[in-house]
Amino acid sequence: MSDAQTPSRIYYTKPSITELEIRYATDAATHGWGERCYEYIDRFERQFCTHLGVRHAIATSSGTGALHLGMAGLGIGPGDEVILADINWIASAAPIVHLGARPVLVDVLPDTWCLDPAAVRAAITPRTKAILAVHLYGNLCDMDALQAIAQEHGLHLIEDAAEAIGSVWHGRRAGSMGIFGAFSFHGTKTMTTGEGGIFVTDDETLYERVLTLSNHGRARCEARQFWPERIGFKYKMSNLQAAIGCGQMERIDELIAGKRRIFERYRDTLRDLPFALNPEPASTTNGYWMPTVVAHSDTPFDRARVLDAFRADNIDGRVFFWPLSTLPMFVARPQHTVSRSLSARAINLPSYHDMTDEEIDRVVSCVSGALGSIS
């Protein structure tokens, strides 16, 4: 039932699909079979390498799959520990568990909401194998500090850049700095293939190992048909998905600019309110996948009230990730005071390519209205 009084729905994200993506997808569906069944996949991987400035890419069926493959390629397994931030989506931790290794959660920095390098250093044990740097909501981890720690202790530094396409650290794109990087093209991300992901690396040996793993353990130099040399994985992206990805890659600068335009309007209109937004330190660029407000700790802030205001105005509300250590499958870490306090004071704001200034202003008035009613 449509009601003239109901304001139009504001989604928290939605993909930007144009005639270009539709044309490529139609072409893939019409012609992309038989000997042409990898054409869009190959092209997509090349485009992604060029965009990121890396040598190798393997398109996957999800970001989770890309992480799983990469960590398996590094030989992470039972007895190993991987350090990551407590505030995260479960997808970053799950592949560690699937491999029989242990995710070691540490607290985050109050301004970037990403790994605290000092906490990482304190969590290192003889079992530590890798540090997983997740660039949360587009915000960058302190890659210089993490790189130094990894080097000093002989650890792998992995980047989960699923939320950070468009983010740049001192001239290097997120996802291109670690031993490998993983991206997601889920429908909520800045660029999408419906579902999908990609593994990227500059490391030849790791690339070959992951390529074999990604093909059910069949090495590409193997002459025998159907001859796996080990147990591998099946996380492939289809040519149809890659066709949409090729269109998105041609428009990637525009897609990132869209996220930045929305963030900047939020930043300008929320300027006088007691909130911190996604940071953008000197010599970095934030891809601003998800504009987020964090109420200052001395501000009375009730996020349920903001969510109610959103609901009343037909706006999707999305809570900041819970600290993983508050979920039932992890050990509680009440000492992670930054993670605990952030999560209660923060909320993600809607952002999608076609979002109008009027829609942004509707969101802002809900956020500021909810604040006014309790102060």
Note the residues at the interface with ligand PLP (CB under 6 A).
62-64, 89, 91-92, 134, 160, 162-163, 184, 186, 197
Least Cβ distance, residue 71 to ligand PLP (angstroms): 12
Q: Please, which residue, 184 or 241, has the CB nearer to ligand PLP?
A: 184
Q: Are 78 and 100 in contact (CB under 8 A)?
A: yes
Q: Return the number of the residue (70 or 197) whose C-beta is nearest ligand PLP.
A: 197
Nearer to ligand PLP, 92 or 212 (CB): 92
Q: 159 vs 203, which CB is nearer to ligand PLP?
A: 159
Minimum Å gap between C-beta 320 and ligand PLP is: 13
Residue nearest to ligand PLP (CB): 63
Considering the complex, what minimum distance in angstroms separates the CB of residue 135 from ligand PLP? 8
CB of 86 or CB of 163, closer to ligand PLP: 163
Task: Kindly state the smallest distance separating residue 260's Cβ from ligand PLP, in Å.
Answer: 18
Helix pair 63-73, 90-98: axis angle to 10 deg: 40
Cβ closer to ligand PLP: 184 or 325? Answer: 184
Find the shortest distance in angstroms from Cβ 210 to ligand PLP: 16
Contact 185, 153 (CB under 8 A): no
In angstroms, what is the minimal distance from the CB of 88 to ligand PLP?
A: 7
